[in-house]
Structure 1
Amino acid sequence: MSHKPTTVNELGEFTVLIDARSPAEYALDHLPGAINCPVLDDEERRIVGTTYVQVSAFEARKIGGAMVARNIARHLEDLFHDKPRDWRPLVYCWRGGMRSGSFVNWLRLVGWDAQQLKGGYKAWRAHVIEQIALIAPQLDLRVLCGPTGSAKTRVLQALAADGEQVLDLEDLAAHRGSVLGGMPGRPQPSQKGFETALMQDLARFDLGRRVWVEAESRRIGRLTVPEPLLQRLRESRVIEIDATPEARLAYLLRDYAWLADDPQGLADKLGTLRELLPKDVLAQWQAWALHRELPPLFAALMAQHYDPLYARSQGRHLERLAHAQRVACDDLSDAGIHALARHIASLP
């Protein structure tokens, strides 16, 4: 039972991945499937760090050592007391240093074949960036575009249901990429968490088959699309959904009906447009929001905000927009969306 540093390419050889970092570090991003067993919690980590800076490294290690021992003992009693002898954990911390090293030593003293991830989370992070840069340029992307309300996300979902490969960036980012784009009950992940989830999606694709994706700008909410993927998206083939204004408005009113449940929140979201709109226009829109009058509000948003923004931005974002295959549509009901997806999938 040798003790050797393990690389990210060997993750599948272990029973469990243990993240020994603090809960706050774990919440920002972690290896997929890892459980959080901190050897120092957030407050303990702060105390040790402050002691290191204000007193000495020796005092910090002395205080931290006692905390680490207590926390590892608690994990052994609460989480691992029933694990069999052949249980094989891989432990990591920030850099593959003292926190994971201490944990591994205790687990190995018990008799388990515990190992330490070489380079820790930083090695994983480098792996994520490397894989995105490697895979993204190889993707045979088909980019769906169309003005807001064209049901692009729903078309992607219908394509996926029909067995097509789909990359849903807005789902990964938990944001629809517009002023009203926040998803109820789903806060956006951290940038690192977004990229970890993205890398997992990219890794599952068959690179010999096409991948459908929605046209996106550089930012989705507060998150940034990694440059290798953004460049591939911008240079790829484009399919433009040309839905009628009536179909788009009906779709938006169904898809965003939940906004009427929080009229003040909707008015506040619209307030972020104050630099782009005349004061009287914004005041009217916010009044509609507060009175839950979504039809005139969404009609005005389409005509005065979303459509002009689309006309200005798509030519910059999509190099092959001028050669896009355009698909007309006047029905964005559930049945209409499924029919639209099947038609798009059949395009040469």
Structure 2
Amino acid sequence: MKYPALLSFEEVFPQIRQFDTIIDARTPAEFAEDRIPGAINCPVLSDAERVQVGTLYKQVSAFEAKKLGAVLVARNIAQHIETQFIGKPREWTPLIYCWRGGNRSGAMAHIMARIGWPVVQLDGGYKEFRRYVIGSLAQLPQQFAFKVICGPTGSGKSRLLQVLEQQGAQVLDLERIAAHRGSVLGNLPQEAQPSQKAFESRIWDKLQYFDLRYPVFVESESKKIGNLRVPEALMEQIRKSACIALTLPRTERVRLLMDDYAHFVADPALLNTQLACLSYQHGREKVGEWQQMATAGQVEPLVDELLLKHYDPAYAQSIKRNFGQFSTAQILDLADISPEAFLQAARQLHQDK
């Protein structure tokens, strides 16, 4: 094969894990929004440089823009080779891509191929990868048998998924991928949600390598997790799949939520900001009472009342309406939130697969 080789994503994907390095040559901002899973960012133009070259192209001429671009691209590629790749052996195999046209990745691929590395450039770049992901997510979920972990807020669904994964089960933890716990109080203060594109790419990456012979455990989610939308075909397949109904005494659910939402316990003002979002459902007077409880440090009775007045009624309506097999769900009782209880439940489910 002559290098640099120009291959489509369909050609590259079957061997994508054989590449030593996947290089995203786009700007840091483009990379941050989404990228091929496992890629590293080696921008041939920074965000500011890309704007600079684009402005020169529009306001002066393509010729002047290309001259400046050549200087910046050559300088940046040289720096990447010197700082990151100078020690790579002749057999090192990189896959390089940029946005679409191939100018940025093509420049890097050309120089690396002249050095002697067997470089592959992705034809169509990130845009072609994105097209492939969208197409896959419209078809791929239908191939899997999902087992849906159901249960009201605080019943330990996410913890059970984590233990199932530790036991070797196939788990699609959408809340972990979305960096959100799914409810109005579900945002994670130390972690921002990914972009919608990145969310979909990460889901695709998980599904792509699951074994079709075994079930995939997933939580009973809403169509949106925080600000992110679950892909339609995936949501449809999950909602018509077999269900497992997880039960846990309410006192234990309160304990679990106190653990999981410790940041709210420590910051009543933050909790009150989120509680304000419930005003349209429960009225300002009731939400004001809850906010007073939070300010007074009465978080445990507050959590108990939120379960009773808000979360449990909402769950009861949603689960029956959206999950067709819930009426025949396998019942799985947890006595408490000890690690032993979750381990026993996970082993039972994993053995039953």
Give yes or no for TM over 0.5.
Answer: yes
Counterparts of residues 108-119 of structure 1 (less than 5 Å): 108-119=113-124
- Once the two structures are overlaid, the 10-residue window that deviates more, 329-338 or 198-207, is 329-338
Find 1:75's aligned residue among 71, 80, 84: 80
Mapped partners of 1:326, 1:112: distance in 2: 57
Find 2:92's aligned residue among 77, 87, 92: 87
Mapped partners of 1:151, 1:316: distance in 2: 22
**TM-score under structure 1 length normalisation:** 0.93
Q: CA RMSD in A?
A: 2.0
Q: How many residues were matched structurally?
A: 348
Find 2:199's aligned residue among 194, 200, 205: 194
Q: Which runs of 5+ in 1 are unaligned?
A: none
- Provide the secondary structure at the position in 1 that maps to 2:75: helix
In structure 2, the CA distance between the partners of 1:13 and 1:152, relative to structure 1 (3 Å rule), is closer
Amino acid at match of 2:275: L
Find 1:54's aligned residue among 39, 54, 59: 59
Mapped partners of 1:309, 1:333: distance in 2: 27
- Report if aligned partners of 1:149, 1:251 keep a CA contact under 8 Å in 2: yes
Identify the residue that residue 147 of structure 2 maps to in structure 1: 142
**TM-score under structure 2 length normalisation:** 0.91
Mapped partners of 1:237, 1:81: distance in 2: 53
1:256-292 Cα distance to aligned partner (Å, 9 max, x none): 2332222221211212222222112111222222333
- Provide the secondary structure at the position in 2 that maps to 1:109: helix
Mapped partners of 1:42, 1:246: distance in 2: 52
- Report if aligned partners of 2:45, 2:72 keep a CA contact under 8 Å in 1: yes
- Provide the secondary structure at the position in 2 that maps to 1:277: helix
Identify the residue that residue 107 of structure 1 maps to in structure 2: 112
Identify the residue that residue 185 of structure 2 maps to in structure 1: 180
Mapped partners of 2:331, 2:26: distance in 1: 50
Mapped partners of 1:79, 1:55: distance in 2: 35
Once the two structures are TM-superposed, the CA of residue 245 in structure 1 deviates from its matched residue by 2.1
Once the two structures are TM-superposed, the CA of residue 13 in structure 1 deviates from its matched residue by 4.2
In structure 2, the CA distance between the partners of 1:33 and 1:345, relative to structure 1 (3 Å rule), is closer
Identify the residue that residue 336 of structure 2 maps to in structure 1: 331
Are 1:293 and 2:298 an aligned pair? yes
Amino acid at match of 1:323: T
Mapped partners of 2:239, 2:152: distance in 1: 17
- Once the two structures are overlaid, the 10-residue window that deviates more, 6-15 or 30-39, is 6-15
- Report if aligned partners of 2:293, 2:299 keep a CA contact under 8 Å in 1: yes
Q: Which runs of 5+ in 2 are unaligned?
A: none
Amino acid at match of 1:55: V
Identify the residue that residue 286 of structure 2 maps to in structure 1: 281
Identify the residue that residue 155 of structure 1 maps to in structure 2: 160
Amino acid at match of 1:52: Y
- Report if aligned partners of 1:96, 1:121 keep a CA contact under 8 Å in 2: no
